Amino acid sequence: MGQTREALIEATKHLLAEDGYGSTSPRDILARSGAGQGSLYHHFRGKSDLAAAALHEVSAEMRTAVDDRLDAAADPVVAVLDWLQAPRDALRGCRLGRLAAEPAIGEAVIAAPIAAYFHHVQGRLAARLGEAAAAGRLTDGMDPGEVAASLVAVVQGGYVLARATDDPAAMRRAQAGAAALLRACCRPVEGDNR
Amino acid sequence: MGQTREALIEATKHLLAEDGYGSTSPRDILARSGAGQGSLYHHFRGKSDLAAAALHEVSAEMRTAVDDRLDAAADPVVAVLDWLQAPRDALRGCRLGRLAAEPAIGEAVIAAPIAAYFHHVQGRLAARLGEAAAAGRLTDGMDPGEVAASLVAVVQGGYVLARATDDPAAMRRAQAGAAALLRACCRPVEGDNR
DNA sequence: GTCTATACCGCGATAGAC
DNA sequence: GTCTATCGCGGTATAGAC
């Protein structure tokens, strides 16, 4: 059965989230998963192959989470603000974004699931911002794709600031500032002052 | 003389910018600086002590660069937009911000110069945005500190997106989106449509 | 203050018995 | 498929001559 294989992937997901790629060793993974030495190299070609499998799952989970948030509200502006201001574990960092700073991002198998996530979020945000624009609720000349990119960047940058200053509030300030900027250029819906 | 010491610091600055902390080894530093083995441990207590010295210099350089940009224009909104949209080497990452994702950020000597930089940029941006607010040129209720945090986050997140998707244009889109949002909530100056 | 030599450890991977 | 044992390498640091 694939029990050992799944245990390896599960352990890798946790360790990548905690420590990143470079600082997660096969030894750590084996210890945490309870698997023996040979198992890793029986099921996977090596560390990066296993990491790719783990990141593939994380990427899928996070895309689903984004879709759920962005589809929850009928009003596109409300949905986008909701996604932007969702609480985040700032000091731990983004499970995918934090790997962008590592040399391993140069390996295609590692980069692919991470890039897939970012393309997905930006596309979904741009779509909802496009709805708002089509309804004439966005300031003229505003590009939904560019605004989407800046909002995703705010969140990723919020993680960087929070970790760099060891202060989770840095993330919340970045979120609040971006939300204020966005609200200022969106015609609001009656009765919603989120 | 401090020639060897400075050569070590200079080499470390370059290697940290290229590869980050974890992937920069004392061997690399010695090879690049041309110094012999013992020198590193004569002048510094170890790798992290040397890295701290290098980051201290980088932090000071970057704070100066920010000040120069933010003081160049008399108009605060123009100055902030100018800083935001400055060209950046997106695929290489921020020399300080990229270290935030590494475990080494947990060491106080490493974190201190990085945090000092981010506090400085946010403070300077907030000050100029405060000028704009005082002149009644910022949408009401906008917090200069929060907007500053979000702008710094956009830049740091732009690096993350660019590296994650292996696309330098991702940084430019994030910058452009944030600039559009900021312009939309700032009363412009006559004749400047930057 | 700088050099050469070397120690110790953990990383990533492999060998081969069961 | 899983285990134990082991390998080769490079990371970080130290010893001690000059």
pLDDT tens figures, B26-67 = 999 999 999 998 999 999 999 999 999 999 999 999 999 999
| pLDDT at position B1 | 57
CA A60 to chain CA centroid, nearest Å: 10
pLDDT at B194 over 80: no
Distance A5 CA to C16 C1' (A): 22
pLDDT classification of A56: cutoffs 50, 70, 90: very high
Terminal-to-terminal C-alpha distance of chain A: 49
SS3 state at B159 = helix
Query: Under a CB-based contact definition with an 8 Å cutoff, are residues B16 and B24 in contact?
Result: yes
pLDDT at B88 over 60: yes
Q: What percent of chain B has pLDDT over 90?
A: 91
Q: How far is B113 from chain A (nearest CA, A)?
A: 9
**Are A163 and B100 a contacting pair at CB < 8 A?**
yes
Strand D contact with B139 (CB < 7 A): no
Q: Is the pTM of this model over 0.95?
A: yes
**Are A158 and B157 a contacting pair at CB < 8 A?**
yes
B13 CB neighbour count, 10 Å cutoff: 18
* pLDDT tens-digit readout, A10-35: 999 999 999 999 999 999 999 999 99
CATH 3.40.250.10 fits A47-184, yes or no: no
In the structure encoding, which two tokens stand for residue B36, read together?
A: 């012999």
Kindly list the domain boundaries of chain A, sorted by start residue. Answer: 47-184
pLDDT at A81 over 90: yes
CATH 1.20.58.1180 fits B48-184, yes or no: no
Task: Calculate mean pLDDT across residues B159-180.
Answer: 98
Please tell me the distance from the alpha carbon of residue A83 to that of residue A62, in angstroms, as a whole number. 12
How many residues comprise chain B? 194
